[in-house]
């Protein structure tokens, strides 16, 4: 564990000693902040209209969890789809381009420790990004009590979703020394996993159901609505484990080829 901790610190220094992490975090907060305040403004207007309608038509249901939190999480997931390839593109590609990966192979660390060090460092950057959006709950408090269960489920689901993005991006970063190529391949693959369920939605045959199940977006619907299903958690953990496994096999092939 101490070795992994040392590698995580090394990668975090690489992130924050360059403008990459700061630029990504700034843009994420800017875009997510816009979506949040736009949603809150719409919610305030809708609440006012519904209060007037209730005088004539009776009580109308309007929850901040469904009207603000769920759309915000959905928008944040799209932003993360664009940001994740930027976080992972350098992890192994830069090492291969500079030749420092050969030095890493001589270090007294295992491939597993090397992979986990880089993966956990990128995941910590994402955790920081998400943590910086938690003050949004304070603004929600100005209108009503925050739906903490929905917020917890939604953020956990979003973290698992982005953790899956990062595992795939880490794998592609082992395949090329070009960071741009790594980012493009990662985004393309993530986009396929994102949309693959669209064409099969509504079909009942086993193949269509399999495609829908493999869609990475399909398993985010429940958490974004405040429902944490163990089947979705198992899917994301399996996705992460599979691509971390492929990353390890890719590194082994790199050693043999080298």
**Structure confidence by residue, pLDDT tens digits, 90-118:** 888 888 888 777 777 777 888 899 999 99
Structure tokens at 19: 């403008």
Q: Which residues contact 43 (CB under 8 A, 6 or more apart)?
A: 62, 64, 67, 68, 143
Contact 161, 184 (CB under 8 A): no
Reported as a pLDDT band with limits 50, 70 and 90, residue 182 is very high
Burial class (CB in 10 A: 0-12, 13-18, 19+), 222: middle
Reported as a pLDDT band with limits 50, 70 and 90, residue 62 is low
Q: What whole-number distance in Å separates Cα of residue 174 and Cα of residue 93?
A: 6
| Phi, psi at 124, each rounded to 5° | -65, -35
Residues 219-234, mean pLDDT to the nearest whole number: 89
Q: What whole-number distance in Å separates Cα of residue 208 and Cα of residue 173?
A: 31
pLDDT in the model for residue 201? 62
Residue 3: Cβ within 10 Å count: 16
| Structural domain spans, the chain | 2-257
Q: What is the residue whose two structure tokens read 């082992």?
A: 174
Write down the mean pLDDT value for the chain.
86
Query: What's the distance, CA 101 to chain centroid?
Result: 26
Reported as a pLDDT band with limits 50, 70 and 90, residue 52 is low
Q: What is the residue whose two structure tokens read 């092939």?
A: 253
Q: What whole-number distance in Å separates Cα of residue 157 and Cα of residue 224?
A: 7
pLDDT-wise least confident of 91-95, 133-137, 164-168, 200-204: 200-204
Burial class (CB in 10 A: 0-12, 13-18, 19+), 58: exposed
Contact 88, 119 (CB under 8 A): no
Q: What is the residue whose two structure tokens read 């390890």?
A: 248
Largest CA distance in the chain: 76
pLDDT in the model for residue 111? 86
- Helix, strand or coil, per DSSP, at residue 226: coil
Q: Which residues contact 224 (CB under 8 A, 6 or more apart)?
A: 70, 73, 74, 77, 154, 157, 158
% the chain with pLDDT above 70: 90
Reported as a pLDDT band with limits 50, 70 and 90, residue 59 is very low
Taking 90 as the threshold, does the pLDDT of residue 32 lie above it? yes
pTM (whole model) above 0.85: yes
**Who wins on pLDDT, 75 or 202?**
75
Residues 154-181, mean pLDDT to the nearest whole number: 94
Structure tokens at 161: 């979703």
Reported as a pLDDT band with limits 50, 70 and 90, residue 134 is confident
């Amino acid at each position: 564990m101490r070795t992994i901790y040392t590698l995580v610190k090394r990668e975090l220094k690489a992130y924050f000693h360059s403008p990459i992490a700061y630029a990504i975090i700034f843009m994420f907060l800017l875009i997510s902040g816009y979506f949040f305040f736009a949603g809150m403004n719409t919610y305030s207007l809708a609440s006012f209209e519904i209060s007037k309608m209730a005088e004539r038509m009776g009580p109308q249901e309007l929850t901040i969890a469904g009207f603000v939190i769920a759309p915000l999480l959905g928008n944040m997931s799209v932003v993360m789809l664009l940001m994740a390839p930027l976080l992972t593109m350098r992890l192994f590609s830069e090492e291969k381009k500079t030749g420092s990966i050969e030095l890493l192979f001589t270090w007294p660390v295992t491939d597993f420790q090397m992979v986990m060090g880089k993966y956990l460092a990128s995941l910590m950057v994402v955790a920081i990004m998400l943590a910086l959006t938690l003050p949004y709950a304070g603004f929600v408090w100005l209108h009503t009590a925050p739906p903490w269960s929905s917020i917890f489920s939604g953020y956990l689901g979003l973290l698992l979703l982005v953790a899956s993005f990062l595992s795939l991006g880490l794998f592609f970063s082992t395949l090329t020394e070009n960071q741009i190529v790594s980012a493009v391949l990662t985004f393309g693959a993530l986009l396929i996993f994102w949309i693959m369920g669209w064409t099969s939605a509504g079909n009942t045959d086993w193949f269509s159901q399999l495609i829908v199940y493999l869609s990475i977006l399909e398993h985010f619907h429940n958490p974004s609505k405040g429902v944490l299903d163990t089947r979705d958690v198992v899917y994301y953990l399996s996705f992460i484990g599979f691509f971390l496994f492929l990353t390890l096999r890719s590194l082994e092939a790199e050693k043999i080829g080298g």
